[in-house]
Amino acid sequence: MASGNAGKIRELRQLLEHLNVVVVPQSDFDLSDADETGTTFEENAIIKARHAAAATGLPAIADDSGLLVDFLDGRPGVYSARYAGATATDDDNINRLLDELDGVAQDDRGAEFHCVACFLLHADAQPLLAKGSWRGRILSERRGEGGFGYDPVFHDPQSGKTSAQLTAEEKNARSHRGQALRALVKALGATAT
């Protein structure tokens, strides 16, 4: 897995455990993060997968995901993980988001998590891409202790909870990353036959 993000690694392991796939994070190879120089989720997912496959000689799965807030014209978008700065924590990013939405009515806080997952058999392979998205809205306060990133403020209308209040199974069934990875696994199965 071309990521050092513990939350992403945990989610990927849960999503792929039934396939007997061993998910090895790039940190096990002492591999630094790829420079996310792309301007789209697709470009960044491919950059990360190519970086990991080239450095390890192994197949790689990478994803790039982020939060697109309607009122903010799609921000933070591809900059979601570093919205409040290059060394920002999840709390820093949430604080910036909540500051920017201060005074905005709940009905105007629509948002979508978006994910592009990429599989590469080797560094020069044609990338296999899959996408997922999850609509909701941004609350004005944090709720829940689970998940990571913007989960405590992202309200899922289907469950009536934030993604931080969902169990891992509930989140994986609904989330943008879960959708993208299930689509990727399905596409991998189709290309193997």
- In the predicted model, is pLDDT for residue 87 greater than 50? yes
**CB 121, CB 148: distance < 8 Å:** no
Rounded to whole angstroms, the Cα distance separating 66 from 139 reads: 17
Domain that holds residue 150: 6-192
Structure pTM? 0.88
CATH number, residue 134: 3.90.950.10
Rounded to whole angstroms, the Cα distance separating 182 from 85 reads: 31
Rounded to whole angstroms, the Cα distance separating 156 from 165 reads: 10
- Selection from 112, 115, 124, 119 nearest residue 16 by Cα: 119
Residue-level pLDDT at 193? 44
Identify whether 1 is part of a domain: no
Choose the weakest-confidence range: 25-39, 53-67, 172-186: 25-39
Residues 6+ apart with CB under 8 A from 64: 36, 38, 41, 42, 43, 44, 45, 48, 78, 115, 116
| Cis peptide bond prior to 157, omega within 30° of 0 | no
Number of domains in the chain: 1
pLDDT, one tens digit per residue, over 11-45 is 778 777 777 777 888 888 888 888 889 999 999 99
Mean pLDDT of 113-120: 96
Decide which of 191 and 56 is more confident.
Answer: 56
Give residue 8's pLDDT band: very low, low, confident or very high (50, 70, 90).
confident
Q: Report the mean per-residue pLDDT for the chain.
A: 91
Rounded to whole angstroms, the Cα distance separating 101 from 176 reads: 22
156 catalytic per annotation? no
Angle between helices 176-192 and 6-16 (to 10 degrees): 50
Query: Beta strand pairing status for 161-162 and 60-69?
Result: unpaired
Between CA 83 and CA 95, with CA 89 as vertex, the angle to 5 degrees is: 60
- In the predicted model, is pLDDT for residue 168 greater than 90? no
Residues 6+ apart with CB under 8 A from 147: 7, 163, 164, 166, 171
Rounded to whole angstroms, the Cα distance separating 166 from 159 reads: 8
Which residue in the list 28, 30, 63, 64 is annotated as catalytic?
A: 64
Mean pLDDT of 42-59: 93
Mean pLDDT of 162-172: 94
Give residue 191's pLDDT band: very low, low, confident or very high (50, 70, 90).
low
Identify whether 140 is part of a domain: yes
Identify whether 136 is part of a domain: yes
Helices (H), the chain: 6-16, 41-56, 90-100, 168-174, 176-192
- In the predicted model, is pLDDT for residue 133 greater than 50? yes
Residue-level pLDDT at 41? 97
Mean pLDDT of 83-111: 97
Residue-level pLDDT at 104? 98
